[in-house]
Amino acid sequence: MSFVGGGAPEEYPIAPESRTTTIPTGGPVCDCAPAVDVPGAPSGGFCSREPAMPPAVRTLRRGLREWMTDRDLDDDLADAVLLLADEAVTNAVEHAGGERRCTVEVVANTRGCGGGIAVMIRDDGTWRRPPEDPGFRGRGVTLMGRLADRSSISTSPAGTTVRLCWAVPSMN
């Protein structure tokens, strides 16, 4: 997810040594990652990368929806996952590229820490400060904090990463 473009907002200063900023979502912080490309990780995760252009929103939404259908997730959980992933992808498409082309990637699987689902949305764009008055827009970060069990947004010169996770005891 990226509200991206010209440096980190002043209220979230970047530490010079890491050049990474964590943007608060209002909920518990998620440092999970989907269990992919890790020895012993369950197979069958979802991973798709697209140019950060409008067709990516639909393509990634369809792929993630299909992956969740195959996992037989609860309807409310599936709706929350799709809504938040869609918000993050849309923000990357609208804001990440700026003057240059960039990509957006969605990765989903069981949580690396077990017992649930983790979704990571990342782009290789640049952070742009949100407007002072977003008008009727700008509610995505609040939704992430409320609908995901844990969530985090981090931004660096390499792009923005949104992490979302939900506990699902039946996925142990």
The pLDDT tens digits for 92-136 are 888 776 667 889 999 998 887 777 899 999 999 876 666 677 677
Which pLDDT score, from 0 to 100, does residue 89 have?
93
CB 2 within 8 Å of CB 125: yes
Percent of the chain with pLDDT over 70: 73
Residue spans per domain, the chain: 21-130+141-171
| 91-130: b (≥16 Cβ within 10 Å) or e | bbbbbbbeeeebbbbbbbbbbbeeebbbbbbbbbbbbbeb
- Kindly give the parts of the chain with pLDDT less than 50: 1-17, 38-41
| pTM > 0.85 | no
CATH architecture of 21-130+141-171: 2-Layer Sandwich (3.30)
The predicted structure's pLDDT at residue 123: 92
Residue with tokens 């142990």, as numbered in its chain: 172
